[in-house]
């Protein structure tokens, strides 16, 4: 069996049955504001603290804004030390190459491979896949391109989180069939309160906790508890 | 972390965990009659009282009608003093340029930049983005154009509210993924009463109140309470 | 603020918070048989009794049939005295011009302007907008044409009701975003009874009653009560 | 106001508030097996007993089969005496003209006019409109053609029932907006029983019973009761 | 009225109010595994025992497989004696004519007519109509072709069951409007058990049991009870 | 009747009423992470232990990854001994033939036939059919190609499991109509726990357990119990 990679995110390894598997790819799903970006970035920060270099690929937000919006942990330090590399597929001011227009999944796979090779990257986050998925209007070439990306990352031993918004025509479920595991983040609203949760929806190769577990976001980052997210309801 | 901008709308800063972040963009969603325009205009009026100049871009209603329909605060005074600038993308009687037809998000970004630069604008409201979003029939160029608009506003330090109706093919949720935060206004109908509420759905960079909070609209404007909108139900 | 126009329909002005606003446009929505036409016609009759001339534009039914189907009030008298003018966009027997085919919203705006000017019209009802809305297959030109119609009516000080069936592809909600107010008529079916209701869904510029209110239709016309439409359920 | 036409179907006139109106057109809706054809045919038989000649237009079933499938009343006698005329738009064996293909609503209107004129028809049933509605792929020409049909029938004083299956793209609700009244037939299934009901959904020009009323079909035909269709549930 | 044909399937004639009508066509609907094929085949076997020859038309399964999958009754004997004729529209190994591609409903009608004439067929089962229905992309020619098939079968006095999966774009309900009766087979899942049921949804020309009735499938075939399919729930 | 093939998966043969039928094809459905791949692979492993050689066709995952992700039983040993043959339709690194692009269901049928013939295969698993089904945009040629595949497998006496994701336009239900049986895997989430279940949805030729049965996945593989998956709810 694959070796395990402890995410280091408090509580996450427990519901995964011992952490992610090395070199596999996982989907992170959830609505706007559900905590997908924070959980994924903390996955990189905890890796960096452990000597595993991370790559954060964003399709839209500039890396500088990302850092300002996550004033948790020592994210800026990780970036300054080169322990986390950020890469935006969005053209920057002064960027002549009009990069985004031409980026498809094949180009992205090529680019990420370049980063992974040259920087010894071990953890990858892709926030989000939707802008790329939306370039395809049928399932077949999309499945192939995603498989190529996943296969490349696996061949380099990169453990990867794909943030999946599911806002386009290709359904969220279709992507969940293709990844090795899937974690859903959400909110439950009762008459009394609104509680965040994390739930492992799929995890190949191991038994895992199937329940929704209450999750909190504070200025220290993510904390997944071992409690059900229903309080007195 | 970004500096905070207190909206000044009674109760709003509290549920935002201390106000908006400077230079970020927020979505305001809700059905017809839910109070999106009033809340957004009060955001400008309260800024003007505090010395921050505001820009109100409307896609359809004439600025004169807007003022007549919000006989709250000293809106007319703010406009007369130039503290709030209104701009309608709808051609006015006698306007030869047939402006609306040609306006796309790129043109709008250019125009707003012009206003922001020349008038020292610090707060922007865009009521509503739907007429512009409806010019796009796939997600990719829309995402890029919106990112350009958001990036421009950020580079000038403008805190912005985008009113999102979500009436076209591009889903409301897709837009909510792209903004830095999102507030939903709505109504809850029980057997006993109908109560308005405001709920922060997304807020990057801070903990925030996740609950629905009862909201009232009176001739003094918006008032967001710290109570749940369920009364004896 | 705008001046108020008391509709004169029993109970309607109360739930509107004091009547319509002069020169503004309101949507009337509801399923088949919900009372949209009767409420709208009574709005004209009550205006006529008060010296405000009305225009009833129908897209399909002949004016003669309309009168026969509403044997309430002194509708025939109003028409005979010219206090209510009816106009059908449907070609009449013997009509050579094949009018309907060519009528679009721009043509209709032109035609209504003509009537309004020449007859000193103060109240307009448009029953229904759907046949016109269905000529458009995307939102943008529809929004513009509707805005032109609404702007023209406002410039002449006409208070207007648009009956919205919402049977085509353009959603009912999209139209409700564009008007200054919206009233929904409907039916609630319990185990014990079926009760009609009226509910103000949107009303710019004023506080208003947000509840569903029981409504009755009798041979005297519309009567909106101050009671909730739930009896012993 | 229009004169009333008592349908003669037991219980139907009561829930209509006194019968149909002369020369108006009513929609009959309901799922497969709900009793639309029987109710409509009984409307013709009761008219024939009262000296009003009827026309039954079917789009698919042969008139002979229709009669065999409704062994109620003296239907065969009515047909033999010419009190009820049946006309099928479906080509019969030996029919060279391939009629159905070319029949559109305009052709049908012409054909029915011919029958109505020559036979002094006073009641018309059209079972069903769906095959004709399905020839149109947008609302506008359909609305016009239906309006022409309805106007022609009215000009000859024919009271008409349109059976609406609603199986195509044009929604059932769209047709219900166009007719002068609408009756829905259906079934309610409880843990204890299945009960048929009839409900007047729309009725221009009169107050009417808005409730679902229990309906029975026996070998004497339709019987609409004054009871709610909920027994001990 | 038509003569009755007793199906011979235990319990079925009772809920039909005395059996099918001679020469009419009935739809059998239900999800995968609901018993449509078994009920229909038993209809043929019981007819054969009574001297009425049957025809089983299948669109996909080979007749040999069909027999092996229904080891009930003396099906093989019926086939050997020629009391039940099976015909598959699916090309068989060694079949050069590539039959399926060219088969449309008109071709099928012609072929079935041939079988019916030459073999004195009295009962027909068509399992399933979906592969044929899916050749049509609008309702009109489909309605006509189905009417021709139904008319032909009636003219030869064949009582027919059409198995309707309803898996394509043409809705199941549309087909149910066209047949003379419809029986739905299904499953009800409670906390305690899963129970099969049969329910007559439509039956022209007679009163019938409208309730869901518990149904069992055993190695003796179908058994429809007179009980509701709810046990202690 | 067909001979039975005991799957060997604990508890599965019991709910099938005694195992699968020799040479027939079964659908396995369920959401991401529901256990479809594990159940299917165990079906092959148990066959191999019994001397029946198995073929595992995957559309995306490499065979090596598959084995690493199922560290249960002696899967690697089965493969090493040639008792289970794996075949991926996804091009491998260094594979010049670009196989996937050209693979359609006909090509796959040909390829599987080759494997089955040369290796004496008795059990086949196809994980998943979706990438192939998605090559078709209407039902007719898909039905034919699937029937050819099913017929070929039957002619060689192969018992087959088709994993059906149902993520494309062709509905899951459509495929379930075509196979000889269907098993659904799923999860039930209560306030107290999440429990896996297996349910036989369809099974031609035999009575079977119709209930949902609690299922567990451990490091020994699948275990289907005889209990309902509702615990204290």
Which residue is closest to B1 within chain A, CA to CA?
A: A68
At A222 the pLDDT is: 95
CA–CA distance, C109 with C100 (Å, rounded to integer) = 14
- Whether B125 shows a pLDDT value over 50: the answer reads yes
Contacts with A101 from chain B: Cβ below 8 Å: 144
Tokens at B163, concatenated: 């009113």
Residue range B84-111, pLDDT digits in tens: 999 888 765 555 444 445 568 888 899 9
- Whether E218 shows a pLDDT value over 70: the answer reads yes
CA–CA distance, A1 with A113 (Å, rounded to integer) = 25
Distance from CA of E163 to the nearest CA of F (A): 12
Average pLDDT score over residue span B193-216: 93
At A167 the pLDDT is: 65
Tokens at C162, concatenated: 């648009």
At E135 the pLDDT is: 81
CB-neighbour burial class of residue B89 (10 A; exposed 0-12, middle 13-18, buried 19+):
middle
Average pLDDT score over residue span F158-182: 85
Name beta bridge partners: A84. Answer: A54
> Which ranges of chain A have pLDDT less than 70?
1, 91-103, 167-171, 231-233
Contacts with B196 from chain C: Cβ below 8 Å: 210
Q: What is the DSSP string of C140-166?
A: HHHHHHHHHHHHHHHHTT-EEEEEE--
Residue contacts between E and F (CB atoms, under 8 Å): 73
Contacts with D211 from chain C: Cβ below 8 Å: 189, 193-194
Closest CA to A134 of A108, A170, A89, A165: A170
CA–CA distance, F160 with F154 (Å, rounded to integer) = 9
What band does B190 get if pLDDT is binned at 50, 70 and 90?
A: confident
Residue range B38-88, pLDDT digits in tens: 999 999 999 999 999 999 999 877 878 888 889 889 999 999 999 999 988
At A100 the pLDDT is: 44
Mean pLDDT of chain E: 88
- Whether D164 shows a pLDDT value over 90: the answer reads yes
**F and A make contact (3+ CB pairs below 8 Å):** yes
CA–CA distance, C166 with C36 (Å, rounded to integer) = 13
| CA dihedral over E17, E20, E22, E28, signed as positive or negative | positive
Contacts with B174 from chain A: Cβ below 8 Å: 165, 167-168
Distance from CA of F9 to the nearest CA of A (A): 18
- Whether D197 shows a pLDDT value over 50: the answer reads yes
At B223 the pLDDT is: 96
Residue range E92-119, pLDDT digits in tens: 555 544 444 556 888 889 999 999 999 9
- Whether D100 shows a pLDDT value over 50: the answer reads no
Residue range F174-230, pLDDT digits in tens: 889 999 999 999 999 877 789 999 999 999 988 899 999 999 999 899 999 999 887
Residue range A5-16, pLDDT digits in tens: 999 999 999 999
What band does E142 get if pLDDT is binned at 50, 70 and 90?
A: confident
CB-neighbour burial class of residue B27 (10 A; exposed 0-12, middle 13-18, buried 19+):
buried
For the CA atoms of chain C, what is the radius of gyration? 17
Closest CA to D147 of A36, F89, C58, B39: C58
Evaluate whether B125 touches B163 at the Cβ level (below 8 Å). yes
CA–CA distance, A46 with A6 (Å, rounded to integer) = 9
Of C201, C205, C212, the CB nearest to B32: C201
CA–CA distance, A128 with A170 (Å, rounded to integer) = 14
Closest CA to D9 of D224, D187, D203: D224
Which residues, 6 or more positions from A37, have their beta carbon under 8 angstroms from its beta carbon?
A66, A70, A127, A163, B204
Q: Which residues of E26-60 are buried (b: 16+ CB within 10 A; e: fewer)?
A: bbbbbbbbbbbbbbbbbbbbbbbeeebbbbbbbbb
List Cβ<8 Å contacts ≥24 apart for C226-229.
C226/C11, C226/C14, C228/B191, C228/B192, C229/C188, C229/C195, C229/C196, C229/C197
At F18 the pLDDT is: 94
Contacts with F31 from chain A: Cβ below 8 Å: 173, 176, 201
> What HEC string does D19-57 produce?
CEECCCEEEEECCCCCCHHHHHHHHHHHHHHCCCEEEEE
At D97 the pLDDT is: 47
At A140 the pLDDT is: 78
Tokens at A136, concatenated: 């395809």
At E97 the pLDDT is: 46
D137 touches chain C (CB under 8 A): no
Tokens at E94, concatenated: 């060694």
CA triplet F1, F7, F13: central angle to 5 degrees? 75
At F118 the pLDDT is: 94
CA–CA distance, C219 with C224 (Å, rounded to integer) = 14
Partner-chain contact B182 A69, CB within 8 Å:
no
- Taking CA atoms, A217 is separated from A42, A77, A187, B26, in Å, by 11, 21, 12, 20
Distance from CA of A158 to the nearest CA of F (A): 14
At A133 the pLDDT is: 84
E90 touches chain F (CB under 8 A): yes
Of C176, C210, C230, the CB nearest to B187: C210
Which residues, 6 or more positions from A188, have their beta carbon under 8 angstroms from its beta carbon?
A194, A195, A197, A212, A229, A230
- Taking CA atoms, D174 is separated from C31, D182, D208, in Å, by 10, 12, 22
List the end-to-end C-alpha distance of chain E, in Å, as a whole number. Answer: 41
C-alpha of F147 from chain center: 17
Residue range C141-176, pLDDT digits in tens: 888 899 999 999 999 999 999 999 876 656 677 889
CA–CA distance, D187 with D169 (Å, rounded to integer) = 24
- Whether D102 shows a pLDDT value over 90: the answer reads no
Average pLDDT score over residue span D191-206: 90
What band does D99 get if pLDDT is binned at 50, 70 and 90?
A: very low
CA triplet F79, F85, F87: central angle to 5 degrees? 125
CA–CA distance, B129 with C143 (Å, rounded to integer) = 13
Average pLDDT score over residue span D140-149: 87
Q: Which residues of A95-104 are buried (b: 16+ CB within 10 A; e: fewer)?
A: eeeeebeebe
Closest CA to D194 of D40, D37, D31: D31
Mutating which of B39, B65, B70, B231 best tests the C interface, going by the most C Cβ atoms within 10 A?
B65
Closest CA to D90 of D37, D141, D132, D144: D132
At D168 the pLDDT is: 60
**Structure-token match 């699968």, residue found:** F20
Contacts with A148 from chain F: Cβ below 8 Å: none
Which residue is closest to A204 within chain F, CA to CA?
A: F69
Structure letter (DSSP) for residue A1:
-
Evaluate whether D213 touches D225 at the Cβ level (below 8 Å). yes
At D140 the pLDDT is: 78
Partner-chain contact F69 A143, CB within 8 Å:
no
> What HEC string does chain F produce?
CCCEECCCCCCHHHHCCCCEECCCEEEEECCCCCCHHHHHHHHHHHHHHCCCEEEEEECCCCHHHHHHHCCCCCHHHHHHCCCEEEEECCCCCCCCCCHHHHCCHHHHHHHHHHHHHHHCEEEEEEECCHHHHCCCCCHHHHHHHHHHHHHHHHHCCCEEEEEECCCCCCCHHHHHHHCCEEEEEEEEECCCCEEEEEEEEEECCCCCCCCEEEEEEECCEEEECCCCCCCCC
At E96 the pLDDT is: 47
Partner-chain contact A218 B207, CB within 8 Å:
yes
Partner-chain contact D194 E211, CB within 8 Å:
yes
At C49 the pLDDT is: 96
Distance from CA of F168 to the nearest CA of A (A): 8
- Whether D94 shows a pLDDT value over 80: the answer reads no
E168 touches chain F (CB under 8 A): yes
E212 touches chain D (CB under 8 A): yes
Evaluate whether E213 touches E199 at the Cβ level (below 8 Å). yes
DSSP tally for chain C: helices H, then strands E: 9, 11
Percent above pLDDT 90 for chain F? 64
At F231 the pLDDT is: 55
Partner-chain contact F143 E131, CB within 8 Å:
yes
Q: What is the DSSP string of E21-77?
A: ETT-EEEEE--TTSSHHHHHHHHHHHHHHTT-EEEEEESSS-HHHHHHH--STTHHH
CA–CA distance, B171 with B183 (Å, rounded to integer) = 16
What band does D98 get if pLDDT is binned at 50, 70 and 90?
A: very low
- Whether C116 shows a pLDDT value over 60: the answer reads yes
Contacts with C167 from chain D: Cβ below 8 Å: 139, 171, 173-174, 177
CA–CA distance, E47 with E122 (Å, rounded to integer) = 8
Count of all residues that appear for chain D in the document: 233
Distance from CA of B55 to the nearest CA of A (A): 24
CA–CA distance, A90 with D184 (Å, rounded to integer) = 56
Enumerate neighbours of B (3 or more CB pairs within 8 A): A, C
Of A173, A180, A205, the CB nearest to F71: A205
For residue E137, give the 3-state DSSP assignment: coil
pTM to 2 decimal places: 0.91
Residue contacts between C and D (CB atoms, under 8 Å): 73
Of E32, E59, E62, the CB nearest to F176: E32
List the end-to-end C-alpha distance of chain F, in Å, as a whole number. Answer: 41
Mutating which of C22, C27, C109, C140 best tests the B interface, going by the most B Cβ atoms within 10 A?
C140
Evaluate whether C225 touches C214 at the Cβ level (below 8 Å). yes
CA–CA distance, D154 with B176 (Å, rounded to integer) = 53
Tokens at A189, concatenated: 């609203």
At E102 the pLDDT is: 55
At E80 the pLDDT is: 95
Partner-chain contact D204 C37, CB within 8 Å:
yes
CA–CA distance, D30 with D188 (Å, rounded to integer) = 12
ipTM of the complex: 0.88
At A72 the pLDDT is: 87
Evaluate whether C65 touches C26 at the Cβ level (below 8 Å). no
Residue range E161-215, pLDDT digits in tens: 999 997 665 667 788 999 999 999 999 987 778 999 999 999 998 889 999 999 9
Tokens at A106, concatenated: 């094949």
At C91 the pLDDT is: 63
The order of strands in the sheet holding A84-88 is A84-88, A53-58, A121-127, A159-164, A25-29, A181-189, A194-203, A212-218, A221-224
- Whether C82 shows a pLDDT value over 90: the answer reads yes
């Amino acid at each position: 069996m694959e070796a395990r990679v402890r995410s280091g995110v408090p509580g996450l390894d427990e519901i995964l049955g011992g952490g992610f598997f090395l070199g596999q790819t996982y989907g992170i799903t959830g609505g706007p504001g559900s905590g997908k970006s924070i959980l994924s970035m903390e996955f990189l920060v905890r890796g960096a603290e452990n000597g595993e270099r991370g790559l954060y690929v964003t399709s839209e937000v500039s890396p500088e804004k990302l850092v300002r919006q996550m004033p948790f942990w020592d994210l800026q330090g990780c970036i300054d030390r080169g322990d986390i590399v950020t890469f935006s597929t969005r053209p920057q001011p002064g960027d002549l190459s009009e990069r985004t227009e031409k980026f498809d999944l094949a180009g992205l796979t090529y680019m990420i491979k370049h980063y992974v090779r040259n920087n010894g990257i071990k953890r990858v986050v892709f926030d989000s896949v939707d802008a790329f998925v939306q370039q395809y209007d049928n399932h077949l070439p999309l499945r192939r391109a995603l498989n190529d990306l996943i296969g490349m990352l696996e061949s380099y031993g990169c453990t990867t989180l794909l943030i999946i918004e599911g806002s386009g025509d290709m359904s969220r479920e279709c992507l969940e069939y293709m990844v090795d595991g899937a974690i859903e983040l959400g909110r439950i609203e009762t008459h009394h309160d609104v509680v965040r949760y994390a739930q492992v929806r799929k995890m190949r190769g191991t038994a895992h906790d199937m329940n929704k577990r209450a999750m909190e976001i504070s200025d220290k980052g993510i904390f997944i508890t071992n409690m059900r997210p229903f309080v007195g309801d």
